[in-house]
Each structure stands twice: as structure tokens, then as C-alpha cells.
């Protein structure tokens, strides 16, 4: 026998705090001779007791705190998801730059051989090169700003 017709009555008596003192004498007599209900009492009474103590001891955060944390986390996850294409694009750009740099290495090597000639040119036109560098450093950010600005 795995079930008893009076199981529900016994469990209700336990769950509503009537067991054993306030339970029907008839029900108590049944439990005393029914192995299924005896097991039920042996298990349900301590579990109910344990649950009630745990529920009383519980100190969950407020609903507002849980909601706030969930919203923050959802936002962070959304940001991460939205940033994924950008991160992929950045990786593509980095690979392209690395590829271009690798392709230029032989040319740079050749160019290095003519560095002596370039050095003499630099000494002769140092003032002109300096002015060009300063102009580039000042004008390049301005050019980028005006190119990207909406208005």
C-alpha cells in the first residue's frame, strides 16, 4: 500500500497546526494503526516545523532592491550584447592594420637602406619638417572633430 485515503486529512491537520492535540480522535486513532499515515506524520511534522523556522529566520532583501539589481544586471548584459558587433569590428580593424604593417615590412627595409640620404635631407630642412609636424598635430584633431560633428 503506497497511499491512504486519509492522508489529505492528516496533512491538513499538520499544516494548519491542529496535529496532534486539536485533531479528531478518530483521525489520531487511524494514524496509530496506518503505516502510511504514520510515515506521513513522522516526515511532515518536522518538515513543517523546519519550514516555519526557516521562513521566520529568512532575511531576504526588499523587492525594490531585488528589482534594482535585476535592472542593473539586465542593462549590463544589454550593453555587452550591443557592444559585441563593435568589438568584432575592432578586431577586424586590428587584423587589417597588422596585415598592412606586415606587407610594408619589405618596403621599409628597402627604405632603411636609403636612410643615410634621408638623414642629410632632414638636417638641411629641419625647420620645415618641424613646422609641418606641429601643424599636423594641431590641425589633425580639428579636422577629425569637424568631420564627425553632426552640425
Partner 1 sequence: MRDVTVTELEQLAAGIAEAEATFQMDEEAFGCFYERTARPVWAYLARMTGDPRLADDLLQEAYYRFLRARPALDDEAHRRNYLFRIATNLVHDIRRRPQVDETAMPVRGPAETIDGQGGDMAAETVRRIDTARGLAQLKPRERELLWLAYAQGSSHHEIAETLGVKASSVKMLLFRARRRLAAVLRAAER
Footprint of partner 1 on this chain (CB under 8 A)?
2-3, 11, 15, 17, 36, 38-40, 42-61, 63-64, 66-67, 69-71, 73-75, 77-79, 81-83, 86, 90, 93-94, 148, 150
Start-to-end CA distance of the chain, whole Å, equals 84
At closest approach, how far in Å is the CB of 108 from partner 1?
Answer: 22
Could you identify the residue written with the cell 548584459? 77
Q: Looking at beta carbons only, is 15 or 104 nearer to partner 1?
A: 15
DSSP state of 138: H
At closest approach, how far in Å is the CB of 137 from partner 1?
Answer: 18
At closest approach, how far in Å is the CB of 38 from partner 1?
Answer: 8
Q: Looking at beta carbons only, is 49 or 118 nearer to partner 1?
A: 49
At closest approach, how far in Å is the CB of 145 from partner 1?
Answer: 12
Q: Looking at beta carbons only, is 93 or 101 nearer to partner 1?
A: 93
Q: Grid coordinates representing 139?
A: 590641425
Q: Looking at beta carbons only, is 87 or 131 nearer to partner 1?
A: 87
Please name which of 41, 15, 45, 44 lies closest in space to residue 28, comparing C-alpha atoms: 41
Beta strand ranges found along 46-112 (DSSP E)? none
Q: Looking at beta carbons only, is 78 or 130 nearer to partner 1?
A: 78
User: CA-CA distance, 17 to 37, in Å (whole number)?
Assistant: 16
At closest approach, how far in Å is the CB of 82 from partner 1?
Answer: 4
Q: Please enumerate in sequence order all residues whose Cβ is within 8 A of that of 18, keeping only pairs 6 or more positions apart, or say none.
A: 12
User: CA-CA distance, 22 to 13, in Å (whole number)?
Assistant: 8
Amino acid at each position: 500500500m503506497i497511499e491512504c485515503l486519509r492522508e489529505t486529512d492528516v496533512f491538513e491537520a499538520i499544516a494548519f497546526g491542529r496535529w496532534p492535540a486539536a485533531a479528531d480522535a478518530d483521525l489520531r486513532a487511524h494514524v496509530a494503526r496506518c503505516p502510511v499515515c504514520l510515515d506521513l506524520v513522522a516526515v511532515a511534522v518536522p518538515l513543517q516545523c523546519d519550514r516555519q523556522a526557516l521562513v521566520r529566520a529568512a532575511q531576504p532583501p526588499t523587492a525594490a532592491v531585488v528589482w534594482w539589481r535585476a535592472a542593473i544586471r539586465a542593462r549590463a548584459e544589454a550593453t555587452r550584447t550591443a557592444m559585441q558587433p563593435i568589438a568584432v569590428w575592432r578586431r577586424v580593424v586590428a587584423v587589417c592594420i597588422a596585415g598592412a604593417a606586415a606587407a610594408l615590412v619589405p618596403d621599409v627595409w628597402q627604405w632603411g637602406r636609403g636612410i643615410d640620404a634621408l638623414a642629410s635631407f632632414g638636417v638641411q630642412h629641419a625647420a620645415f619638417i618641424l613646422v609641418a609636424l606641429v601643424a599636423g598635430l594641431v590641425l589633425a584633431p580639428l579636422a577629425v572633430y569637424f568631420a564627425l560633428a553632426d552640425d
